Structure 1
């Protein structure tokens, strides 16, 4: 039995107005061009409405019982030429309006994706921890596709339908108000039925869209963890999970489709009813001399036009609701406030020394999971400080809080006396370089990945940083040297090679504050000896925080801060801490005896 997927947290579903608002905000800059396009479509579609009027004259002329004369033939040809003229006008107007409309809508589509991408990137680390990567990617793309579906529906279906319905009813009413009233009444019934069926279908479409994202996320999660699946021989287990979620998706999609088929059946029944009643009334009027053969041609022409359009009306309503359901998933992300955001009065951070202070800091990931309570710690400018302690003591969390990947609940984090909550996130992070334990790279070239530390760096600067981080040997062994793509997340490289690239980034960034999160843990002994020298040079004149599991890497630190359960339990140099009883002495004894690498 496959376990239920529980990757999604609850967020309130936005209403249809929220989706329309997002679309209109992006369409509004093109409103005047859009208005001209709308006029063109109205004229183009309206021109088609004229044809049945001339066909009425055509058939009335044919039905005339008198002799066929040259004047009669000329009149018939003139009528056909007028039909051709109006159809030509319609063809010309639609011929230029649709390409112009496509130009506008293509710009709106790409801007929607850019908006979604930009807003998504500003969400906090917690947001990305709680959502599937694959589903987020799908939601961004789905927003623009939903816009495309809705625009196609409005441009190619709704506007022509409205013009056909109101235009044909106006002409029919001019000829016979009773028949127009009958058609209008039955069409109103048709629209009401479609509306309620589509609304009934919407709840299944929303669930289908959510399950579709979950299917994508489950698939992406399995592909990302392909090595784990092989190592733990869990292919069948993962297949069961994927089967369960795809089966739920299939059932929901089938419900949606079946409701659509029910709606189609109702539509055909109503259309048959309309045609029978209208023709029956027409026959009675003809019997009384109030209707001509041309009137039947006029009526049939408009009925064919109306039936073609109202059949599209049902599909249009369904497509609109499906597009709304697809768009809502991304709109709810756009409506969710960023957990970490710049204050309106945020200033640029200016670091002159690099002193860091935690002042009565409280932080918890969840309300019941406290990590720090009234935490205090001062790190002097240009001081080299190591954070050590057992797993779960809060070492990595401190790094995340300095970088403001999460916001603290109480207290302050100060850098040179500036609260990090009162400066822009960008200026804060530009002054801090982090070398993580497990660096993740872009699927780009080695050169581009190193240059990420300083995006305006020259090739020479990148290569020099690579040389200092011992990446030049790595580059020489790659097929295209520095232009070699490293694979998704850097999968083509070993852990040690990725760490060297992260160190090269930090060297290139040359920030006043440096954070090393077990920066040499994946390096072999030979590489580490080279890198240690580079790191010592890199740390010179910088405030440095080192998180270390291997205590041998922190012997030269100015100060070692020992942490346990979110508290500072001891501080001192290696020599001081190794002599007195406590966590550090215990850890040092275990590691020096070789029990922990």
Structure 2
């Protein structure tokens, strides 16, 4: 989806309009400053006209004029400084609002959105949006408004002295602005390309840093260095091209300014010779030319910075303009669980039109029943639990919990009622206390510690110098796999949801640790409807029912003992594992 500049401006305006008083004061102040700068040169004209034609009280007039000039300059300086302070307050508030809006909308996107995106690139996009606003606000306040006021003021001022000079100057200004506008429009796609390459490079960098251990294990240093070198070289080429054409534009711009200064002064001399202009008019015209050149010189830069800022903001605005893939229906109800019955009724689901994962899938878990899902890799076991959490919307059929269609209830109330212990827990870079408490954020410290005891986390946490206040590192990297797993179990224990999903919850534990928490898991499962995804079949022997999944269908079900007695997938898997090929 291509984002337009209008959409970006609308996003910025929606956040600026919350502060109307500050915005109005800033705009008025900026207008006042540069109006004063247009008026001041007229007093320089009077000053030099007085010098050129001495009169009796000429010295008094010069001194009064000088004080007026100084007074106007000081007034403009004071307003400018106050405006700068006010702009800082406005920009920081709006930048904070934009960052918050971006974060709030971003985390509402679907599971598939995040699996298809680089975390580092998303962080870069969020940060770029607020910085892009800062750039746009600065350009409006310090460049665009001053340019408009200065150009219009000077044209009006010069018209009082000579219509010929006004027409010549006005025609040149229009030509200059149109040329710069055309150039900026032509360059914008390259600025967008530069931003995309920058984002891509950030993603490659974050991906490599996040997988530093894998790079070491597979001696991928040279491969990763070459990969990063290639993307940086692509970025350099685009950046070098845009920089080079900007320098060419600056050269042409300088030449045009030299030409118009010569033409204006040449015409002024002709007008002075016939008595239309005075010596003071030369001072007026020269000051106007200097100030006009100062503002117009920046016009190309203003446009380029606008387009660069829009290019930086476009990626995040595209995310903001992209509807959430999974949304609550209007007037969605809150899921109320009395028993915990789960039903999959004729469910169809595929990640793509050509890749169906579930085909008319049917499964019922009775209240309080403990069922295990087994089957070969790619059979659809994890997909079933993802659909239960409504990470994806199904293509057909229904998923019911206590006869309530999960597509008709709020996502928050649905996920509040289900606890998950994943195979590979990902922890926040926060303290152990915070990570466990995430299961129920209002829980007391004592409740967190009790959950940790039940999950047998308390033993290793107590040995840490900072105990529960220990930070676990990014994604929990400071903990072993087994320790992360036990923290995830403690989190689920603390949540105490009526439905529990265990995705091989003991897969990262050694035999001793596994034995320690089996009793905790039994207590956790008591009175709950439990779905276990099993890879090691030895962990599901006590399940009430084992469901065998293959190619998105239920092909068999029963207890462990019953399934072993008949040929099939389960018997084959058990024979392989029992034979020692899979621990």
Per-residue CA distance 1:513-551 (angstroms, 9 max, x = gap): 000000001101111111000000000000000111111
Q: Which of 28, 47, 60 in structure 1 is aligned with 2:17?
A: 28
Partner of 1:279: 265
Q: Does 1:59 align with 2:48?
A: yes
- Alignment partner of 2:362: what SS? strand
In the aligned structure 1, how far is the partner of 2:287 from the partner of 2:456?
80
Q: Does 1:112 align with 2:98?
A: yes
Shift of 1:262: 1.5
Partner of 1:347: 333
Q: Does 1:186 align with 2:175?
A: no
Q: Which of 91, 96, 118 in structure 1 is aligned with 2:77?
A: 91
In the aligned structure 2, how far is the partner of 1:286 from the partner of 1:262?
37
Partner of 1:248: 234
Partner of 1:498: 484
Shift of 1:478: 1.4
Partner of 1:166: 152
Shift of 1:50: 1.8
Q: Which of 216, 220, 226 in structure 1 is aligned with 2:202?
A: 216
Task: Confirm or deny: 8 A CA contact 2:161 2:277 kept in the other structure.
Answer: no
Q: Which of 393, 409, 416 in structure 1 is aligned with 2:402?
A: 416
Q: Which of 287, 298, 312 in structure 2 is aligned with 1:326?
A: 312
Q: Does 1:580 align with 2:566?
A: yes
- 1:84-483 to structure 2, matched below 5 A, reads 84-483=70-469
Task: Confirm or deny: 8 A CA contact 1:50 1:83 kept in the other structure.
Answer: no
Partner of 1:50: 39
Shift of 1:28: 1.2
In the aligned structure 1, how far is the partner of 2:181 from the partner of 2:581?
71
Shift of 1:181: 1.2
Task: Confirm or deny: 8 A CA contact 1:209 1:326 kept in the other structure.
Answer: yes
In the aligned structure 2, how far is the partner of 1:566 from the partner of 1:399?
13
In the aligned structure 2, how far is the partner of 1:489 from the partner of 1:312?
46
Shift of 1:33: 2.5
Task: Confirm or deny: 8 A CA contact 1:197 1:259 kept in the other structure.
Answer: no
How many aligned residue pairs are there? Answer: 583
- Alignment partner of 1:365: what SS? strand
Shift of 1:250: 0.5
Task: Confirm or deny: 8 A CA contact 1:26 1:112 kept in the other structure.
Answer: yes
Shift of 1:564: 0.7
Partner of 1:548: 534
Task: Confirm or deny: 8 A CA contact 1:46 1:90 kept in the other structure.
Answer: no
Shift of 1:113: 0.8
Shift of 1:426: 0.5
- Alignment partner of 1:338: what SS? coil
- Alignment partner of 1:486: what SS? coil
Shift of 1:97: 2.3
Per-residue CA distance 1:365-419 (angstroms, 9 max, x = gap): 1111100111111110110000011111111111100001111111110000111
Task: Confirm or deny: 8 A CA contact 1:434 1:506 kept in the other structure.
Answer: yes
- Alignment partner of 2:160: what SS? helix
In the aligned structure 2, how far is the partner of 1:260 from the partner of 1:386?
64
In the aligned structure 2, how far is the partner of 1:593 from the partner of 1:314?
74
In the aligned structure 1, how far is the partner of 2:130 from the partner of 2:165?
43
In the aligned structure 1, how far is the partner of 2:254 from the partner of 2:556?
81
Shift of 1:337: 1.3
In the aligned structure 2, how far is the partner of 1:87 from the partner of 1:288?
33
Shift of 1:431: 0.3
Task: Confirm or deny: 8 A CA contact 2:335 2:413 kept in the other structure.
Answer: yes
Shift of 1:106: 1.1
Per-residue CA distance 1:414-454 (angstroms, 9 max, x = gap): 00011110011110000000000000001000110000100
Q: Which of 570, 576, 579 in structure 2 is aligned with 1:590?
A: 576
In the aligned structure 2, how far is the partner of 1:114 from the partner of 1:533?
43
Per-residue CA distance 1:551-597 (angstroms, 9 max, x = gap): 11111111000111111010101111111111111111221222211
Q: Which runs of 4+ in 1 moved over 4 A?
A: none
- Alignment partner of 1:49: what SS? helix
Most deviating of 214-223 and 254-263: 254-263
In the aligned structure 1, how far is the partner of 2:33 from the partner of 2:290?
18
Partner of 1:566: 552
Shift of 1:101: 2.4
Partner of 1:509: 495
Shift of 1:98: 2.4
- Alignment partner of 1:377: what SS? strand
In the aligned structure 2, how far is the partner of 1:253 from the partner of 1:478?
49
Shift of 1:35: 1.2
Normalised by the size of structure 1, how large is the TM-score? 0.97
Partner of 1:8: none
Per-residue CA distance 1:52-94 (angstroms, 9 max, x = gap): 1000011111111x47x5x211111111100011112212222
Shift of 1:270: 1.1
- Alignment partner of 2:3: what SS? coil
Per-residue CA distance 1:493-513 (angstroms, 9 max, x = gap): 111000000000000000000
Task: Confirm or deny: 8 A CA contact 1:353 1:382 kept in the other structure.
Answer: yes
Partner of 1:16: 5
- Alignment partner of 1:498: what SS? helix
Shift of 1:146: 0.6
- Alignment partner of 1:504: what SS? helix
Normalised by the size of structure 2, how large is the TM-score? 0.99
Partner of 1:521: 507
In the aligned structure 2, how far is the partner of 1:108 from the partner of 1:373?
49
In the aligned structure 2, how far is the partner of 1:577 from the partner of 1:307?
87
